[in-house]
Amino acid sequence: MSRASIVVLVLVCVAFAASWVVRAGANEGDAAVRDAFLVTLAAFLTLAIFSFMYRDNPYYKFAEHLFVGVSAAYWMCMGFWSTIVGNLVPRISESLSDFFQVPYSGGGLDFGLFYFSYRYFYLIPIILGILLLMRLVPKAGWISRWPLAFIVGTFAGLNLVRYLQSDFIIQISASFVPLFVDWHGFGHFFSGLSLAANGQFVAMLSNLVVFLGVICGLIYFFFSKEHVGWFGGASRLGIWILMITFGASFGYTVMGRISLLVGRLTFLFGDWLGIIG
Amino acid sequence: MKHKLKLILVLLLFIWGTAAAQSDTAPGDAAIAAPSIPPPAPVTNLQATDTDNDHGHAITLTWEKSTDDGAGANAVVAYDVWRWYPLEMDVVDSLRQDLAATRDAVRAFRIDLPRAERALEELQEDAAKLNTTRFRVAVPDVPGFTLTVDYALSKLADTIAYMRDNRPILMSRIKPEQQELAQALERLTQAHAAFPQNGEWRTIGKALAGATSFTNTGSKDQTSSDFFPDYSDLYYRVEAVTIDPAVRSEAVQVGPVQSKGQWFHTGKIPVVLFVVMFLVFTVTFVQLAKKGTDLYVRPLSGIEAVDDAIGRATEMGRPILYLLGIGVATEVNTIASFSILGRVAKRVAEFQTPIIVPCYDPIVMAVAQEVVKSSFLDAGRSDDYRQESVFFVTNYQFAYVAAVNGIMLRERPATNIYMGKFMAESLLLAETGTLAGSIQIAGTDEIAQIPFFIVSCDYTLIGEELYAASAYLGREPVLLGSLKAQDWAKAVIMVCALMGMVATALGWPAFAHFFQVTG
């Protein structure tokens, strides 16, 4: 560790302690010291992440590892409590439900001669989960491919129908737009020509853009034919329409990101430094 | 004398009141005795049918509006819908509530008994430590309320004894109560068939003026208070109601009708037809590809750059970073990314270049490990495969970004490949990759993220190019066949869009109706 690094570390520690003391003095109540520590820690971690803009450094590494470790542990706990305890346990065992203090929600089908409990269905995910863990056993690792194949295959099949419905058929019917809206001849069209948003001209123009956008966009994504001649021209028009759409989307999303930055700056200058109210 | 006077006054009032009520010329009293507006006309052509395309447990009522709907002093403001309930339904409800209460009590005892036992032990220990019982204990959740320790000890002991004695009794009650409920549920069908004996009409909902239908749905769960029995005779009534709730039309009755589930959802017929069409296309082109027919696929610059990028990494002696995004293994874009990862890993194995695959999801990691392992095996370099090169980072989006950004700056990969589902992290990752001086190739079908990749990556696969990439890289018959099938499906869309435009212009709604998917 170089001398400069030690000096910076000492300065950071002093600044942290000073901030803690000052914030604790500014706060009131029993939890003043604890709240001051938490605000100072949050500000320190925010600045540590921002320091990445300069270059990779030990403070960024500390914040990164802390963030990754805490989040991984958090999601593991969430996975256990929401998936296993929250979803599985209430469906398979009443006594386990009582143990974890979650409401039992078992059910079944009464066939008269015998009662079939739904809980047996939930043995399937338990078995698949155990098979998935078999990859931890070197000799039996191949077994874990079975649940993986089941998961990927099942959802690929389910998604085929879902996407075909939402991204194919519904999109086709949405593109059925008339190119001539409220058409009573050229005389009527030119006499009432206006750029009003609900006017005939704008309605026809937007329908034309929708129609051309769909056709030319599809031509751009047509891979079986070389994009030359009129087909290439339509493809180029398609990519232009896509790029204009992406540009609008880019600007819209950047505005959202700016608001996130404003949120962090408000925290630093308001909650931590108290400069803004 | 006083009582006699009272009696005479009451008699006089009674006689006057009777005469006034019979008189036609008393407007004030007429308003009290008769409704201010005439009753509206009832609905006509009331029909009750099993709701189509569902799993049962629903009945749809349709009718033609009352002639007074929407106009006049007695205008209809709503339609009251009634259903005939056999009294057996109340028995079922009552048994269901009893069973739930017993279960709750057993559960509460199971949780509270150990707590009470612990509290008793702690209190006894405190008393033993202090060597006295002359102190008071605070009652939890009741601020400022205390009890003498002797009283608290005796109360706790009583409670524990009560719970120990009664818990087995309560538990033994569950099974008979379950059986009783099951028997009552079995009796429901006969009870419904006994209409109109042993039952009553109950209002189940309201349809606003102008409505001509109402759907009565319920739960299929027999233990739910909202249970709706299938295959039972149900009877309904509809009444038109005016602004004065007391003034309503004559009730129109319909029934019996039974609800049941359907095997086929007719509203999804277009989906089936397109699935079959797509299946035919795929099978045909896969067979053609297997027979060796040359199926042309236009070059994709982003994919052609992959080989160059791997070569660059090999020459520089630096690794390749491959990111599958933040999707789960069941999403289409992640599945496409697995396929591309397989091709990239095979080339990487051939060139003996290191590959790093940090994963966001544990299942994705497991699949990615298998894919990379198989690719190394296919390349004949299974010994070079390192399982730790494909690893799980975290399931939290921005923590994942922080970790990957750190890897980019520390490992300095020569090439970053982003394929799959990316959200807000797309620009954070791609910008860091640019700072690290890596060649970057991205591909996603997330419309909102494509612009960020376009501005910060060297090559970007837009939308469906991601799916085409795997077929283009591998040129395997199955993938190539499915890519061709997709192209033909796009041709069908273009033809349909053209026909739809013409049909709309000519006012033929039937064509557009064919594409209406319900449910």
Average pLDDT of the segment spanning B165-181: 80
In a 13 Å sphere around the CA of B142, the CA atoms on its Cβ side amount to: 6
Q: A28 touching B, CB under 8 A?
A: no
- Note whether residue A111 is domain-resident: yes
pLDDT tens readout for residues A195-217: 777 788 888 888 889 889 989 99
Q: Which domain holds residue A18?
A: 3-83
- Note whether residue A168 is domain-resident: no
Q: Are B359 and B399 in contact (CB under 8 A)?
A: no
Q: Are B62 and B81 in contact (CB under 8 A)?
A: no
pLDDT of B6 reads 52
Among A51, A83, A115, identify where a domain stops: A83
pLDDT of A271 reads 86
Q: Given A170, A221, A243, which is nearest B517 (Cβ)?
A: A170
Q: How far is A212 from chain B (nearest CA, A)?
A: 10
pLDDT tens readout for residues B428-484: 999 999 988 999 999 998 888 999 999 999 999 998 888 888 778 767 788 888 888
**Same domain, yes or no, for A182 and A265?**
yes
Average pLDDT of the segment spanning A34-44: 91
* Paired sense of beta strands B252-257 and B439-444, if any: unpaired
Q: Residue B462 forms beta bridges with which residues?
A: B444
**Same domain, yes or no, for A190 and A265?**
yes
**Same domain, yes or no, for A239 and A222?**
yes
**Same domain, yes or no, for A67 and A27?**
yes
Interface probe, candidates A77, A158, A168, chain B, greatest B C-beta count within 10 A: A168
Cis bond leading into A147, ω under 30°? no
- Note whether residue A277 is domain-resident: no
Contact A148 B367 (CB under 8 A): yes
Q: Given B296, B367, B410, which is nearest A56 (Cβ)?
A: B410
Q: Given A49, A169, A180, which is nearest B505 (Cβ)?
A: A180
Contact B451 A135 (CB under 8 A): no
**Same domain, yes or no, for A71 and A102?**
no
Among A54, A83, A112, identify where a domain stops: A83
pTM to 2 decimal places: 0.71
Q: Given B452, B487, B516, which is nearest A223 (Cβ)?
A: B487
Give the amino acid at A260: L
**Same domain, yes or no, for A153 and A190?**
no
Q: A104 touching B, CB under 8 A?
A: yes
Phi, psi of B366 (to 5 degrees): -60, -45
pLDDT of B25 reads 44
Q: Are B215 and B52 in contact (CB under 8 A)?
A: no
Contact A223 B468 (CB under 8 A): yes
Phi, psi of B110 (to 5 degrees): -60, -35
Among A35, A59, A83, identify where a domain stops: A83
Contact B296 A224 (CB under 8 A): yes
- Note whether residue A237 is domain-resident: yes
pLDDT band at B403 (very low <50, low <70, confident <90, very high): very high
**Listed range (B3-17, B125-139, B485-499) with the worst mean pLDDT:** B3-17
Does residue B17 register a pLDDT over 70? no
- Note whether residue A167 is domain-resident: no
Contact A222 B398 (CB under 8 A): no
Average pLDDT of the segment spanning A151-168: 83
Q: Given B223, B270, B278, which is nearest A107 (Cβ)?
A: B223
pLDDT band at A174 (very low <50, low <70, confident <90, very high): confident
pLDDT tens readout for residues B415-429: 999 999 999 889 999
pLDDT band at A42 (very low <50, low <70, confident <90, very high): very high
Average pLDDT of the segment spanning A147-153: 86
- The helix (H) or strand (E) run that includes residue B60 is strand B58-64
pLDDT tens readout for residues B275-298: 899 899 999 999 998 888 888 888
Residue with the larger pLDDT of the pair A74 and B504: A74
Contact A159 B395 (CB under 8 A): no
Does residue B20 register a pLDDT over 50? no
Q: Given B221, B505, B517, which is nearest A107 (Cβ)?
A: B221
**Same domain, yes or no, for A202 and A260?**
yes
**Same domain, yes or no, for A238 and A256?**
yes
Q: Which residues of B touch A178 (CB under 8 A)?
A: 501, 504-505
- Note whether residue A48 is domain-resident: yes
Q: Are B323 and B453 in contact (CB under 8 A)?
A: no
**Averaged confidence pLDDT in chain B:** 84
Residue that has been written with the tokens 């150990």 in this structure: B114
Question: A residues 173-202 near B, CB within 8 Å?
Answer: 173, 175-180
Interface probe, candidates A173, A211, A245, chain B, greatest B C-beta count within 10 A: A173
Total domains in the fold of chain A: 3
Q: Which residues of B touch A218 (CB under 8 A)?
A: 490, 493-494
**Averaged confidence pLDDT in chain A:** 85
Q: Which residues of A touch B300 (CB under 8 A)?
A: 223
**Same domain, yes or no, for A42 and A78?**
yes
**Same domain, yes or no, for A181 and A265?**
yes
**Listed range (A136-140, A188-192, B288-292) with the worst mean pLDDT:** A188-192
- Note whether residue A134 is domain-resident: yes
**Same domain, yes or no, for A188 and A257?**
yes
Does residue B129 register a pLDDT over 60? yes
Average pLDDT of the segment spanning B302-315: 86
Helical segments of B352-396, H only: 362-378
**Same domain, yes or no, for A257 and A182?**
yes
Contact B297 A223 (CB under 8 A): yes
Q: Are B68 and B41 in contact (CB under 8 A)?
A: yes
Contact A107 B448 (CB under 8 A): no
Average pLDDT of the segment spanning B312-321: 91
Residue that has been written with the tokens 């009565």 in this structure: B216
- Note whether residue A170 is domain-resident: no
pLDDT of B416 reads 94
